[in-house]
């Protein structure tokens, strides 16, 4: 009888502990997957002529060269490529 009473107290204590822990814990931030924004798709990949990295055309820095455009990953790469071109 004592063992049953001891087990009952252990289960009650554990239940109260987990209930209080859940009620007093801060709310979890929503994960990015639960946002209402649709996933972004890559429209077209372009290659930076200076460093060779591929990136989405929407994220690229665009520079007009001759009759077309070149796409760069950053202003630093664009300026470096332009100064190499002028120096050559």
Q: Rounded to an integer, what distance in angstroms lies between the CA atom of residue 85 and that of residue 77?
A: 12
pLDDT value at residue 34: 59
User: Any idea what the Cα angle at residue 12 is, between residues 9 and 14, rounded to 5°?
Assistant: 105
Express each pLDDT in 73-85 by its tens digit. Answer: 999 999 999 898 8
Token readout for 3 is 């063992």
| CA-wise closest residue to 42 among 27, 57, 30, 23 | 57
pLDDT band at 31 (very low <50, low <70, confident <90, very high): low
């Amino acid at each position: 009888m004592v063992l049953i009473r001891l087990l009952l107290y252990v289960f009650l204590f554990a239940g109260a502990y987990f209930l209080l822990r859940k009620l007093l814990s801060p709310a979890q931030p929503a994960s990015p997957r639960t946002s209402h924004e649709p996933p972004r798709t890559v429209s077209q990949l372009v290659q930076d002529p200076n460093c060779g990295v591929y990136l989405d055309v929407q994220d690229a820095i665009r520079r007009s060269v001759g009759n077309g455009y070149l796409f760069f990953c950053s202003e630093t790469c664009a300026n470096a490529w332009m100064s190499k071109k002028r120096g050559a």
